[in-house]
Amino acid sequence: MEKLIYLDNAATTRTAPEVVEAMLPYFTEKYGNPSSVYGFASANKEVITQQREKIAEVLGAKTDEIYFTAGGTESDNWALTATAEAYVSKGKHIITSRIEHHAILHTCEYLEKRGYEVTYLDVDENGLVDPNAVEAAIRPDTILISIMFANNEIGTIQPIREIGTIAREHGVLFHTDAVQAFAQVPINVDEYNIDMLSASGHKLNGPKGIGFLYIRKGVKIRSFIHGGAQERKRRAGTENVPGIVGLGKAVELAAATMAERAEKETKLRDYMIGRIENEIPYCRLNGDRKKRLPNNINFSFRFIEGEGMLISLDLKGICASSGSACTSGSLDPSHVLLAIGLPHEIAHGSLRMTLGADTTREDIDYTVDCLKEIVADIRNMSPLYEDFLKKQRK
Amino acid sequence: MYTEKVMDHFQHPRNVGEIENASGVGTVGNAKCGDIMRIYLDIDENQIIRDVKFKTFGCGAAIATSSMATELVKGKNIQEAMQVTNKAVMEALDGLPPVKVHCSLLAEEAIHAALWDYAEKNGIKIEGLEKPKSDIHEGEEEEEEEY
């Protein structure tokens, strides 16, 4: 295989070989339905509980507060719609931010069409939500606050502890989309006053199609999928046993290596940010410099459009992503980059690189070397750069 | 996602650059939508396009269509250049993904805008040529409503 430098770990990650190995017996050998009575199958029920325990332990939660889902998007949909339904007698107001994942934002739009009111909080130039703004937005009819733990594009980590405390003081439920943060940074649901938390397996070297929603005991929440008695009747359907086993293994591995990984990735991240800032002119780091996921790097390069960068990087064997419109099929660039105040043309020139456990310093050096050339080449073709240089000369 | 021809023109764009004292210059698109094309034409006294250069801010398809459009008009007279439609550019590139068709429209617009500038400077009228739109995206269909 040709050289492949995978810097898109926020999109998905490589399933760890240990995870695949743990899953395999549950396809061809231990394939029984956990709801069946005979021992061959019902042993799988115990296996599922063990995975739930592992996850609960990492979050400081109770075992039966973990509900398996098909992934982060489902967890987000569930948390919002089912809370909205269950708490409608209290009110129809939800607070969230402008930089949430579409799994949250589009679910909010769906609820708005059904008579709910949503407050979308602004963020500052680094993508941070102001806890005071959260408090100010709370009304007597507010039923839910949903703020992501860390942003998927710019990596900004929100003041979740402060927001959780405010939510608790006001008796409002607090949900956090922790798809990017879970098992990357320490999270304790009691310390942070989190009532619900979404996470996904494939962002932490686990399999795709599996995730979970943490729901604090006592939270009234409606069943999301109706059918059998699985997941305490709240999310029916025969359990994805291999997926759950894979997720459990991935969480176990990620939790054990979290501190070490974070230290290594933070060093590489800051090294890469430093090199780009020193060697490529007219760039801007997007997201907070310190309150940032250890593996996230997001830059805007002025005068150029992101898709060209991605194709050129791909030709060099480097996988990255961009918030440009051209990569999404719409005319508007990323809502996150617009929310932090970037003008459209600068948002179009964004590049996200997200490191993984396997990323090396050589990978970073090679990528920055390629990127320098690519940015210079594309700028040479840009009429915006031409105009800029002419203005400079005047 | 892109054809070999598109990739070739993206990786090795033809006619990138500027022409000083060009006979006609046209800039279309806007940075807000993520693409701007600028075409420079050097037209001789027989109305033959002697040279053409481009600068483009945009995606891979935008760069490839600009490059192909310049190749298609080079050496042609201005009437022939008017025949270089977005369809012709797309065909020459062996097609574009549906979401990128607007890039080829932009290329056609850019050529027309440069020809318009040339016609204005020289006080002539080019048959079939209309004043360029200020924004290529005007009048495009609304995004599909979900739910």
CA distance B82 to chain A (A): 23
- CA closest to A324 among chain B residues: B34
pLDDT at B137: 46
pLDDT at A331: 64
Catalytic residue numbers of B read: 33, 103
Q: Please report, in range form, the residues annotated as the binding site of A.
A: 72-73, 152, 180, 200-202, 238, 326
Beta strands in chain A (DSSP E): 5-6, 66-69, 93-97, 117-121, 142-146, 173-177, 196-200, 211-215, 283-285, 296-301, 318-319, 350-354
Q: How many CB atoms lie within 10 A of CB A170?
A: 15
Residue A47, token pair as written in the block: 């296996």
Active site residue A283: no
Contact B68, B61 (CB under 8 A): no
| Residue from the list A315, A327, A344 with its beta carbon closest to the beta carbon of B31 | A344
CA distance A246 to chain B (A): 32
Contact B10, B63 (CB under 8 A): yes
Residue A10, token pair as written in the block: 């926020």
Helices (H), chain B: 4-11, 60-73, 78-82, 86-92, 101-122
pLDDT tens-digit profile of B3-55?
999 999 999 999 999 999 999 999 999 877 789 999 999 999 999 999 999 99
A331, B34: Cβ pair inside 8 Å?
Answer: yes
Q: How far apart are the C-alpha atoms of B69 and A22, rounded to whole Å? A: 55
Tokens 């009532």 belong to A195
B55, A330: Cβ pair inside 8 Å?
Answer: no
B31, A384: Cβ pair inside 8 Å?
Answer: yes
Q: Which residues from A are below 8 Å from B55, CB to CB?
A: 381-383, 386
Residues in contact with A200: Cβ distance below 8 Å, sequence separation at least 6, in sequence order: A71, A72, A75, A179, A182, A210, A211
pLDDT tens-digit profile of A261-274?
999 999 999 999 99
CA distance A198 to chain B (A): 23
Q: Which residues of chain A have pLDDT under 50?
A: 1
pLDDT at B140: 40
pLDDT at B103: 87
pLDDT band at B138 (very low <50, low <70, confident <90, very high): very low
How far is the CA of A102 from the CAs of A130, A288, A335, A342, B119, in angstroms?
21, 21, 10, 19, 48
A381, B31: Cβ pair inside 8 Å?
Answer: no
Does the pLDDT at position B59 exceed 70? yes
Size of interface A-B (CB pairs under 8 A): 78
Q: Which residues from B are below 8 Å from A325, CB to CB?
A: 33-34
> Dihedral, CA atoms, B73, B74, B77, B79, nearest 10 degrees?
0
| Residue from the list B10, B31, B137 with its beta carbon closest to the beta carbon of A311 | B10
- CA closest to A114 among chain B residues: B147
Which among A109, A127, A126 has a CA at the least distance from the CA of A118? Answer: A109
CA distance A332 to chain B (A): 6
The 3-state DSSP class for residue B33 equals coil
CB-based burial label for B20 (10 Å; 0-12, 13-18, 19+): exposed
Q: Which residues from B are below 8 Å from A312, CB to CB?
A: 11
Q: Which residues from A are below 8 Å from B61, CB to CB?
A: 326
| Residue from the list B36, B38, B137 with its beta carbon closest to the beta carbon of A331 | B137
Which among A285, A262, A258 has a CA at the least distance from the CA of A353? Answer: A285
B126 contacts chain A (CB < 8 A): no
Residues in contact with A210: Cβ distance below 8 Å, sequence separation at least 6, in sequence order: A68, A69, A70, A71, A200, A201, A202, A240, A243, A244, A246, A247
Q: How many CB atoms lie within 10 A of CB A101?
A: 21
Helices (H), A280-305: none
Q: How far apart are the C-alpha atoms of A203 and A269, rounded to whole Å? A: 18
B13 contacts chain A (CB < 8 A): yes
CB-based burial label for A249 (10 Å; 0-12, 13-18, 19+): buried
How far is the CA of B33 from the CAs of A352, B67, B103, B131, in angstroms?
20, 20, 11, 21
Q: Please report, in range form, the residues annotated as the binding site of A for [2Fe-2S] cluster.
A: 326
Does the pLDDT at position B134 exceed 70? no
A122 contacts chain B (CB < 8 A): no
| Interface mutation vs chain A, best among B11, B57, B103, B137, most A CBs within 10 Å | B57
pLDDT at A213: 98
A345, B59: Cβ pair inside 8 Å?
Answer: no
Using CB atoms and an 8 Å cut-off, which of residues 263-282 of chain A contact chain B?
none
